[in-house]
Every structure is written in C-alpha cells, then in structure tokens.
Structure 1
Amino acid sequence: MNTPEPTIQNILDSNTLRWIFVGGKGGVGKTTCSCSIAVQMAKVRERVLILSTDPAHNLSDAFDQKFSKNPTKVRGFNNLFAMEIDPNVNLGEFEEDLVGSEEAAVSADIRKTIGHLMTSFPGVDEYMSYTEVFRLVRNMDYSVVIFDTAPTGHTLRLLAFPEAMEKSLSKVVSMKNQFAPILNQLMGLVGMNSTQGGDLTNAIETRLPIVKEITKQFKDSTQTTFVCVCIPEFLSMYETERLVQVSYIFYFGTVLSSFVSNYVIYYYGLTTH
C-alpha cells in the first residue's frame, strides 16, 4: 500500500482562503509550520501577512529578522509581510479601535472610556489580537493572513472572541432605547452627559457590522482554515484530539482541514523502513 504524499497543496490551491490559523500544543513547531506556509502562499498570492498572536514571539527568530507590531516586509520577498502583536496593552494606542479616528464628533472622554472598558475585560491578550483582525478586515490590505498562534487554550479563546464580542455589542445596541435612562445615569457616573452617551452607543453600532463580518468569515470554511500541528507523542496527540473536538463543536464546524505531524522523518525507497 502506497503512503500518500504529505502536502498542503489543498491550501495553496484555494483562491478564497483569507484566514489561516496554525495552532496546537506548545513546543510542537507551530511557528516553523506557519512560516513555511506563509512562504509557500507568497508564491501564489499577491500580498501575504503572517501575524504572531503568541505573547512569546518566535517569528523574528524564524526569519532571522526583527519584527514589531507594524507589518514589515520579510527580507527576500516583495509580497510577504510579518508582524508580532505587542502583548503590552497601551491604552492610548487602541482607544479608537472600536470608535475609529474618523468620528470627529466622538470626544476624547468617550474614547478613553471605551479604552478603559476594553482593558478591564478578561482575556485582554485575545482582545489585542482581535483588534488587529478588526483593522485587517476594515482595510483589506492583504489577500491572505496566516496566524502563528499561542498554545491551544489561547487560540480557542481568540477564535471565540469575535462571536462573544458580537453578542455583547448587539446586546448594548438593543438595550440602548429600553434602558436609556439607566445608561444615562451610568454615563453620568463616569463624567459623560447624555449626548456623549448617545455618541458612544452610535459609535459602537457603526462598528457592529464589521464585528459580524469577522464572525461570519471565521466560520466560513471557504475563507478560514485551521492547521493543527502536533508531534507523535501522547500529550501532543491528546491535546490535538481535544482541540479538534472542542473547536468542531463550539467554534469552526468544518473549518478544520489540515494536520501536520511534525518531527517525523520519511524514509523513501528504503526497504528496511
């Protein structure tokens, strides 16, 4: 019986994929695999971005080039860019992530209020990763984005974050009229008047369609795929199985498409193996 050739050709051949997540247990070679996929995608796509969401970044080591929170062209490529999300939350840098700099009517106080609300959320690392996705969807600068993710738990929370954000923002918008007096009182407690409170909810409402679009794309198997990386060792295989079960039930549906078993050497043509 002939062993099929291991390949990711199905990913390279897809013209509709926009988001490729590479995940798995810590230490199995996710960064190596994600960088390899990015290099191959750069051969068939116009503009490719590889983005590290792991607080312990390894992209700079993999490419032997220093990267930052801003997309930087990888040496030797004209269409491959890399960036590492800064795990340190800087309030001043993302006060406008949900509000947007173009809303001149929204005051600095409202921006600061939103920033403080977002930094108080559990899982702020996931939020920082999500804001980068938000910007990418809004700007549409790259034909495909590869995520070099943190270990399994962090990755699942990141992928669940858009839907959780959508539900939360939808709830705020739906409650705007029903609980307007209460909201006005709460706004007063943080030093905002009713007009500013209305600006706040309106700003959130204008961002809701983009949040919904991210959720939709993440659940669309023609636009999003997940590559599971593991090694032939019990704990890694066990966590990969758990990742598949949890993600299939709760997050992706049919988006899981490829598996990489790392640290495996194939002996082609040798009769002793």
Structure 2
Amino acid sequence: MADFDDSDLPEPSLKNIIDQESLQWVFVGGKGGVGKTTTSCCLGAQLAKYRKKVLIVSTDPAHNLSDAFCQKIGREPTPINGFDNLSAMEIDANDDMEKMQESMVESSGSEDDSGINALMAELTSSIPGIDEAMSFSELMKQVQSLDYDVVVFDTAPTGHTLRLLSFPTILEKALGKLMELKDRFGGLIGQASAMFGGGNPGQMQDMMLGRLEETRSIINKVNDAFQDPELTTFVCVCIPEFLSIFETERLVQELSKFGIDSHNIVVNQVLFPEKDAEELGEWLAENTASLPKEAQEICAKMMARKKMQDKYIGQCFDLYGDDFNVTLMPLLDYEVRGVDKLKQFSENLIDPIDLEG
C-alpha cells in the first residue's frame, strides 16, 4: 500500500520458507473460510520446485484438498497430477480411533470390543482431548514413517488447531491421572470383560497403559520438533476483516505460548493489493463520471470495501510488520482450482507485490 513505508519491513512473501531448507513441518492455519487450503496447496506447489518430495496433509474434518486439486485424494499419500514430487492425503481422526481400538481388541485376544470401548468412553469423559491426542499420535507415526523432505499441514479452524498443540500437556496430565486411577480402571476393565466376555483384564489394562505411554512418547518427540524453529513454522492465514484479524492475533499469541515459531501471515482476498484506496479513488473519480448510475453504484460499493480492507491491512502491518512477513494475495475473478491455476496463483506467495504502487 502506498501509505506504508516498507523499506525496513521483512520481505512481503513466503520466500523465507522456501529458502529455509531445514524446515520439515509447515502448518497453515486460521479462521474458517479464509483460504487455508488454497494457501497450503500453493505453498506445496512452490516447495515442490526445490524439495525432492513434498507432502500436503489435511487434518481438517471438512477436507478440501480433493476439490482444490480436482482429483480424488484419500487416506494414503496420493501423487498430485502435474507434479512428480508432490503428494497429498486427507486424514480422518475418527477412522484412526476406530482402527486403533480394533487393533487393541485383536491384541487382547478378545472377540468382543465392548471392554475396550467402555474404557475409551471412560477415558474420554474423564480426560477431554485424549481421544484426539491418540488419533494425532497415530497420524504422526504414519507421516514420520513416510519418506518426505517437508510436510505441509492444512489444519482445521483455529480452535481445533490450538487443541492439537495442547496435546503434550493433555498427555502429561492424562498419564499422571491414569496412574493414580490405575486400580479403578483395572476394575472397570474387569467388569466390562466379565460382562461382555472380553479378554484378560490385566492384559487389557497393561495394553491400554502401554498405548498411552507410547502416545505420550510420540507426541513429546513431535512437540520437541514443533518447538524447534529450524524444523517447524506456522503460517497464519486471514482476510482483511475484523473477525479474521482478531482471530489471527489470538492464534499468534497462543502459538507463542506453545513455543511454536510463527513469522509469516498471508492476507487473502485483497482488492488491488498494489494500490491504496486514495489512489484508486482518484482514478475512479476521473473515469466513472460518464458511467451509468448502476455502474457508479457498483464502483462506490467496491471503494467502500477497498477502504475497509485498507484499514485492516494497515492494522495488520501495525501489529506484525516489524517482525512478520506479511504477504498480500489478490482477490481474483475466478476460483483457484486445479493444478494449473494453483501453480499460477502460487507465484504470488513468492514474488512480493509492489506496495509502492
């Protein structure tokens, strides 16, 4: 924007992510509907130019990767058409929990899963978030076993993402509480086993505690990597509106509390990012006088929207401009879907928009 003196600001692009070859995990998150999936896909497309193998993972229950790439993407890494080194996968945490419980039933030697289900129901009600934490550990175990140089996570809206980051704390509390209540849970398993014809209670108890210890070990290891700015960064995505900017500030503060590096903000759906409202208004004043009344009204509404966006973009630079790479992405007159359009649009993430106009 012409009003901003950006001479001393960080570069307004995500080129810093491309240049940081040590990065292994890149999270993309923000309020619902701000363009997280498009940003994730575009970032993945740019990383694929420089990395040997790139994976995009959707952890949002409302998956959009298939729609963005215009091809079916499943639970396993799916090669993306038009690339030879970019894959994507869509994870369903509920399915992961069901498969994990099935494997535990098989290991227990029981033909009935009622005992395990009863225990999981008790754990979930006693320790909120433990089911999500266990699902996430299964996901990370799967992703870490794959041979990818960098993984881009297309995350769920902010609240869900922050719960994900709190899993290490949840597991620490859960294990402490479980050890205190070991006898109680052992009795619960025994009752369930007797009632439903399950396997050996002691075996089931040890198996559950073992699984939780494994979950804690995986998540603690993952958390250490997530708190290493050489390995992990979080890209905050927003649009130039009050609620989105407010949510971004909350996200940035929470990421800081969790020790997660965050120094990139993408502002999507920007009207004419290379011009400010005053400059655009002068041009319109010179060229719209002869237009029909309806066209003038349309221009007036567009200008009102542009002024509103400029206000919030200004606030964004005031809040983050000294420390964050703030990247403005233009609002287009078409949907960014399909590999060709994503590749083309992704260039805006890397080539800084001229804020001098």
Q: Would you call these one fold, judging by a TM-score over 0.5?
A: yes
Hey, what's the Cα distance between the residues in 2 that align with 1:96 and 1:89?
11
Counterpart residue number, 1:260 = 266
Counterpart residue number, 1:184 = 186
Q: Which has the larger Rg?
A: 2
Counterpart residue number, 2:248 = 240
Hey, what's the Cα distance between the residues in 2 that align with 1:261 and 1:22?
12
Hey, what's the Cα distance between the residues in 1 that align with 2:73 and 2:121?
25
Hey, what's the Cα distance between the residues in 2 that align with 1:64 and 1:38?
15
Hey, what's the Cα distance between the residues in 2 that align with 1:151 and 1:225?
17
Q: Over residues 120-178 of structure 1, what are the superposed CA-to-partner deviations in whole Å (9 max), with x where a residue is unaligned?
A: 735556754553123223x1432211111111111111221243124423553xx2xx7
Hey, what's the Cα distance between the residues in 2 that align with 1:270 and 1:148?
28
**SS in structure 2 opposite 1:262?**
strand
Asked if the contact 2:78–2:89 (Cα under 8 Å) also holds between the matched residues in 1, the reply is yes
Hey, what's the Cα distance between the residues in 1 that align with 2:267 and 2:165?
22
The one-letter amino acid of 1:238's match is F
Hey, what's the Cα distance between the residues in 2 that align with 1:29 and 1:245?
21
Match of 1:72 among 68, 78, 93: 78
Hey, what's the Cα distance between the residues in 1 that align with 2:209 and 2:174?
12
5 Å matches for 1:48-197?
48-86=54-92, 88-89=94-95, 92-95=98-101, 106-108=108-110, 113=115, 117-118=119-120, 121=124, 122=128, 128-137=135-144, 139-169=145-175, 171-172=177-178, 175=179, 181-191=183-193, 192-197=200-205
1:46 aligns with 2:52: yes
TM-score (norm 1): 0.80
**SS in structure 2 opposite 1:10?**
helix
Compute the displacement of 1:186 (Å). 2.9
> Does the C-alpha gap of structure 1 residues 48 and 111 become closer, same or farther in structure 2, counting only changes over 3 Å?
farther
TM-score (norm 2): 0.63
Asked if the contact 1:130–1:158 (Cα under 8 Å) also holds between the matched residues in 2, the reply is no
Count of matched residue positions in the alignment of Structure 1 and Structure 2: 261
> Does the C-alpha gap of structure 1 residues 116 and 74 become closer, same or farther in structure 2, counting only changes over 3 Å?
farther
> Does the C-alpha gap of structure 1 residues 135 and 180 become closer, same or farther in structure 2, counting only changes over 3 Å?
same
As a proportion of its length, which structure holds more helix? 2
Compute the displacement of 1:254 (Å). 4.8
> Does the C-alpha gap of structure 1 residues 15 and 115 become closer, same or farther in structure 2, counting only changes over 3 Å?
farther
Task: Point out where structure 1 has 5 or more consecutive residues left out of the alignment.
Answer: none
